[in-house]
């Protein structure tokens, strides 16, 4: 059973702090990794994609991938209350199916 694991949270950080969200996956042949943000009652919104080891930065967001450790993370710098949402880690492996983690709920306190 291919799995994607995330800490369900809630993760609570003060406004302006760095939020660190983590994800591990079980399928070693996984090649594509995605982070989605989902507000309550809304659909998932793609934030970042990462395909190779290392860091990828986009604005306040940095995705980090370590395929040897089967670990992917998302850092949110200068966290804002509007960042409060559930963050879904998604992994696409050797097949055509994307597997989603259960999500981490993030609260940013003003």
List interacting residues with another protein (CB under 8 A): 31-32, 34, 36, 42-46, 49, 51, 88, 90, 92, 96-98, 100-103
* Shortest Å, Cβ 17 to another protein: 25
* Shortest Å, Cβ 13 to another protein: 21
DSSP assignment of the chain equals ---EEE----EEEETTSPEEEEEEES-TT--EEEEEEE-TTS--EEEEEE-SSEEEEETTEEEEEETTTTEEEEEESS--GGG-EEEEEEEE-SSS-EEE---EEEEEE-
**Closer residue to another protein in complex, CB, 97/110:** 97
């Amino acid at each position: 059973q291919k799995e994607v694991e995330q800490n369900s949270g809630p993760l609570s950080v003060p406004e302006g702090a760095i939020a660190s969200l983590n994800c591990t996956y079980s399928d070693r042949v996984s090649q594509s990794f995605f982070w989605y943000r989902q507000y309550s009652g809304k659909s998932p919104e793609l934030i970042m994609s990462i395909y190779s080891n290392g860091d990828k930065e986009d604005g306040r967001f940095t995705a980090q991938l370590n395929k040897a450790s089967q670990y992917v993370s998302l850092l949110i710098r200068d966290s804002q209350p509007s960042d409060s949402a559930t963050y879904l880690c998604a992994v696409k492996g050797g097949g055509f199916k994307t597997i989603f983690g259960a999500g981490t709920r993030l609260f940013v306190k003003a």
